[in-house]
Amino acid sequence: MVDAAKITRLLAKVVGPERVSDKDFDLIPYSRDLSPARQKLPTHVVLPQSKEEIQGILRIANQENVPVYVRAGGTSHWDAYLAQEPGIMLDMSRMNRILYINERDLVVTIQPNCTWAKLDRELRKHGLTYLCSEAGGPAMTVGGSVMKAGAGPHSTAKFGCHGDQDVITLEMVLPNGDIVQTGSAAWPSAGKFERQCLGPDLAGMFIGAEGILGICTELTMRIRPATDFKERLIAVMPSLDSVIEFGHFINRNVGDEYLQGIYLWVDPNAPDVFTLMMDIFGYEAEIVEHRKKKLSEEVKKLGGSLGDRGPADDYFGHILTGLTDIFATGVWHFFGAGTLRIDDIKFVYDVWRTELLQKRGYRKAGFGGQVLPRRWLAFMVTNYHEPGDWDELVRMAHEIDEIILAGPVIPYGIGGRDGLRDIVASHDTGYYRLLKTLKRTLDPKNILQRGIFIPEEELQ
Which residues contact ligand FAD by CB under 6 A?
34, 70-77, 80-81, 92, 112, 134-137, 139-141, 143-145, 147-148, 150-153, 210-211, 215-216, 326, 332
Report how many helices (DSSP H) and strands (DSSP E) the chain contains, helices first. 15, 18
Question: In angstroms, what is the minimal distance from the CB of 150 to ligand FAD?
Answer: 3
Chain centre distance of CA 197 = 25
Please say which residue, 108 or 299, places its beta carbon nearer to ligand FAD: 108
CB of 109 to ligand FAD, least distance (A): 14
Q: CB–CB of 85/67 below 8 Å?
A: yes
Torsion angle, alpha carbons of 287, 289, 295, 299, to 10: -170
Which residues, 6 or more positions from 365, have their beta carbon under 8 angstroms from its beta carbon? 268, 335, 352, 356, 380, 381, 382
Q: What is the DSSP string of 222-272?
A: E-EEPP-EEEEEEEEES-HHHHHHHHHIIIIISTTSS-SEEEEEE-TTSTT
Q: Report the alpha-carbon distance of residue 326 to residue 136 in Å, rounded.
A: 10
The CA angle 337-339-341, to the nearest 5 degrees, is 130
Nearer to ligand FAD, 48 or 282 (CB): 48
Can you tell me the distance from the alpha carbon of 366 to that of 368, in angstroms, rounded to the nearest whole number?
A: 7
Which residues are CB-neighbours of 327 under 8 A, at least 6 positions away?
A: none
Phi, psi of 333 (to 5 degrees): -135, 120
| Minimum CB–partner distance for residue 139 and ligand FAD (Å) | 6
CA distance 379 to 368: 5
Min. distance of Cβ 284 from ligand FAD in angstroms?
28
Q: How far is the CB of 22 from ligand FAD (least distance, A)?
A: 20
Q: How far is the CB of 273 from ligand FAD (least distance, A)?
A: 22
Residue with Cβ nearer ligand FAD (229 or 332): 332
Nearest to ligand FAD of 77, 292 (CB atom) = 77
User: For ligand FAD, which is the closer residue by CB, 158 or 292?
Assistant: 158
CA 384 distance to own-chain centroid: 20
- What is the nearest approach in angstroms of ligand FAD to the Cβ of residue 209? 8
Nearest distance from residue 368's CB to ligand FAD, in Å?
9
Residue 50 or 253 having the CB closest to ligand FAD? 50
- C-beta of 62 vs 141, nearer to ligand FAD: 141
Q: Which helix (H) or strand (E) holds 190?
A: none
State the Cα–Cα distance between residues 140 and 74, nearest whole angstrom: 7
| C-beta of 154 vs 192, nearer to ligand FAD | 154
User: Between 89 and 299, whose beta carbon lies closer to ligand FAD?
Assistant: 89
Per-residue b or e along 60-88, where b marks 16 or more CB atoms closer than 10 Å to that residue's CB: bbbeeebbbbbbbbbbbbbbbbbbbbebb
**Shortest reach from residue 172's CB to ligand FAD, in Å:** 8
